Structure 1
Amino acid sequence: MPKPADHDQRRRQITDAARQVVARDGLRAATFRSIATEAGLSVRLVQYYFGSKEDVLRATRAAVAADAAQRMQRAVSELAGDSRPAEVIRAILLELLPIDVARREDTMVLDAFFFAEITSTAAETPSDDAADASGYLQDLVCQQVVLAGADPSTAEADARLIVAAASGLAQAMLADARLVARAPGLIDRLLDRMLVH
């Protein structure tokens, strides 16, 4: 008797395949056929789990964002209970930078979605949940900026600048692998200048 399918595992297999296709070949290359080939499944099975290309892409983007959130939470939970706000922000930001193969691929996937949004290729833009993820990250950083002693009236702007600087660093790291080794020091320098002492 065949083993019953684990639907969550199958969906994850498909979104992992989509993520590989997008990271390697770009968003336009993510078709039912290319995703099915990457996953080692039939096109019909991919269509069974995801009714449209937009559904697959939406789920893929959500999976990448969820993985990043889990990494951030794990990094923060591994800190000592009395960690300074700068240490917490540092842990969060380092989990988002492309400092290894998996995070590099995630950065490329999220960038592909971002560039599709700003170039208005609506058919390839699954949703506006990127704003939610960005807002979540800024809120996390803002809480720590306030704990560091910043004026609450300027903490949101400071958090936005910190996140924007880290995003810019991530882009630079994709183009220049030499920055990978320097990334922790650059984040430390950024926080040293942005946080109240």
Structure 2
Amino acid sequence: MPRLVDHEVRRRQITDAVRRVIVSGGLEAVTFQTVAAEAEISVRLVQYYFGTKKDFLLATHRSVMEDAGARFMQRWTALGPDAAPREAIRAVLTELLPLDDQRREETLVLGAFGWAAIAGQGITAEETFAAPRALVALVADQLRRVQRPDVVAPNNPELDAQLIGMAIGGLAQGMLQGYSTAEAAVGLVDHLLDRVLGTTTSVQAAQGIPNPLTI
């Protein structure tokens, strides 16, 4: 009796192979042949599931975003419905840093896609913008929940969210290059949130809440 094939599992097998090829050789190393060899299947099978190279590249990009999104939701659920905006934003941002092997692979793959869009290698920037736009929207939504009576200038959650998104992308790439350690990177995330949201003690003071450490 012929063995049944789970097509989603097979597609994931292929996109996982694409990731590994990108990590080891960059986007330019990705071909039907190299992906088939990495996945240990035939070229014809890769072509059956993905008719063009661009098809499996975009599917790979989506798989990275879906994996990261699943982790976000796990962290979000663990925080609970009463999580403070700073806590929620910090949880999301640290998931974007290459703090373990999986996140390092994802950062390398996304960086390769970003460079491909810049260099005109068959992937347009617009085709990879859904994830960063979703991140900015999520962060901006959390920032709108924050009251900053200690800040005289008007708040602009959308611009602050864009700044945070750009900063975390640059910080992740800097970690790959060895410019920043994991500990330093997490510290910079906290410093950035201090600059945007204010420190806990400064917000408490502005609202007239006593600091328990000074009582």
Residue 71 of structure 2 aligns with which residue?
Answer: 71
Structure 1, gaps ≥5 residues long: none
AA at the equivalent of 2:95: E
Contact 1:31 1:53 in 2 (8 A): yes
Contact 2:18 2:60 in 1 (8 A): yes
Per-residue deviation at 1:126?
A: 6.2
The structure 2 residue matched to 1:140, chosen from 138, 141, 147, is 138
Residue 82 of structure 2 aligns with which residue?
Answer: 82
Determine the C-alpha separation between the residues in 2 that align with 1:177 and 1:26.
20
Superposition map of 1:7-86 within 5 A: 7-86=7-86
SS at match of 2:103: helix
Residue 175 of structure 2 aligns with which residue?
Answer: 173
- 1:186–1:139 CA distance, 2 compared to 1 (3 A): same
Larger deviation: 187-196 or 33-42?
Answer: 187-196
Per-residue deviation at 1:188?
A: 1.1
Per-residue deviation at 1:106?
A: 0.5
Alignment RMSD (CA, Å):
1.7
Per-residue Cα deviation, 1:6-41 (whole angstroms, up to 9, x for no partner):
000000000000011011110011100000011010
AA at the equivalent of 2:192: L
Per-residue deviation at 1:153?
A: 6.1
Per-residue Cα deviation, 1:58-89 (whole angstroms, up to 9, x for no partner):
10011111111111111111113322101000
TM-score w.r.t. length of structure 1: 0.93
Determine the C-alpha separation between the residues in 2 that align with 1:110 and 1:79.
27
Contact 1:54 1:126 in 2 (8 A): no
Superposition map of 1:115-154 within 5 A: 115-121=115-121, 123=122, 125=123, 128-149=126-147, 154=156
Per-residue Cα deviation, 1:120-160 (whole angstroms, up to 9, x for no partner):
22x2x167232111110000000111111269861100111
- 1:178–1:171 CA distance, 2 compared to 1 (3 A): closer
Determine the C-alpha separation between the residues in 1 that align with 2:115 and 2:180.
24
Higher helix residue share:
1
Residue 155 of structure 1 aligns with which residue?
Answer: 157
Determine the C-alpha separation between the residues in 2 that align with 1:23 and 1:69.
20
Contact 1:58 1:127 in 2 (8 A): no
Contact 1:85 1:145 in 2 (8 A): yes
Determine the C-alpha separation between the residues in 2 that align with 1:108 and 1:136.
20
Per-residue deviation at 1:177?
A: 7.0
AA at the equivalent of 1:147: R
- 1:177–1:168 CA distance, 2 compared to 1 (3 A): closer
Determine the C-alpha separation between the residues in 2 that align with 1:152 and 1:7.
52
Determine the C-alpha separation between the residues in 2 that align with 1:147 and 1:175.
35
Give the number of equivalent residue pairs. 195
Identity within the alignment, %: 47
Higher relative contact order (CA 8 A, sep 6+): 1
Contact 2:117 2:124 in 1 (8 A): no
Determine the C-alpha separation between the residues in 2 that align with 1:2 and 1:126.
41
Residue 210 of structure 2 aligns with which residue?
Answer: none
AA at the equivalent of 2:181: L
